[in-house]
Amino acid sequence: MTETPLLEVSNVTKRFGGLTANADVSLTVARGEILGLIGPNGAGKSTLFNAIAGAFPIDAGSIRFDGHDITSLPCPARCALGIARTFQVPRSFDSMSVVENVLVGALTRRPKTRAARHAAHEVLDFVGLGSRAEASAGELTPPEKRRLEMARALATEPKLMLLDEVMTGLTPSEAREGVELIRRVRDQGITVIMVEHVMEIVMPLIDRAVVLELGRVLAEGTPKEIVADPRVIAAYLGDRHRAA
């Protein structure tokens, strides 16, 4: 018997005025999978992320998560079910300490402050920010702020993590550390969907990719299938990826 997907996006359409950002998009995500959502700028990736996270209502279609129809649920309710996300531009409470930022996420599962703070410290150790726990979030470097966002999301104890360009702006060594962190997140039993433009990094990391173009699904498959697909090469990857 085939296991039910953790996430099912069915025929989702989202319009902004006369612009159709997502058009009849369907995809599934298996439990424990790392799925890459790729495509050129303006393909509709961030819109689809926001639709899954519940940032705005969709115009057509449905979204099911872990057996629940979440199409009409607001963000907090989706978080309670186990969906967490990061943002393309990291968001932090810069006047608060690093651990207090993560405490915000931990309190969603642990209403008692002492237990939530303990969980926050554990998550900071996991992402490599344990030594920065009492620093002001405003003092963190951009790569550290990306890890802080991941820590805050992980503190909500998600079943699904939506990672929006977490490798952007990282040095090669920082990117390698980021890849290892995402693998360790998956090893914790957390499913991952990631939007990423650094194909050399994302392709060896993901199990499967969905390619969007002009708001529609252009192709989906394993990384090997995607980089060899003539439609994807023409739309996005370019001949250097076909040669690779």
- pLDDT, tens digit, for every residue of 47-105? 999 999 999 999 999 999 999 999 999 999 999 999 999 988 888 899 999 999 999 99
Mean pLDDT computed over 17-37: 96
The better pLDDT of the pair 36, 236 is held by 36
Whole-prediction pTM? 0.91
Mean pLDDT computed over 110-126: 96
DSSP code per residue over 42-110: TSSHHHHHHHHHTSS--SEEEEEETTEE-TT--HHHHHHHTEEE--SS----TTSBHHHHHHHHHTTT-
Angle between helices 98-106 and 113-127 (to 10 degrees): 120
* pLDDT tens track for 127-161: 999 999 999 999 999 899 999 999 999 999 999 99
Residue with tokens 């995402």: 182
Predicted pLDDT at 13: 98
- The bridge status of strand 83-85 relative to strand 160-164 is parallel
Residue with tokens 């199990």: 207
Residue with tokens 């023409």: 234
Q: What tokens were used for 35?
A: 């799925």
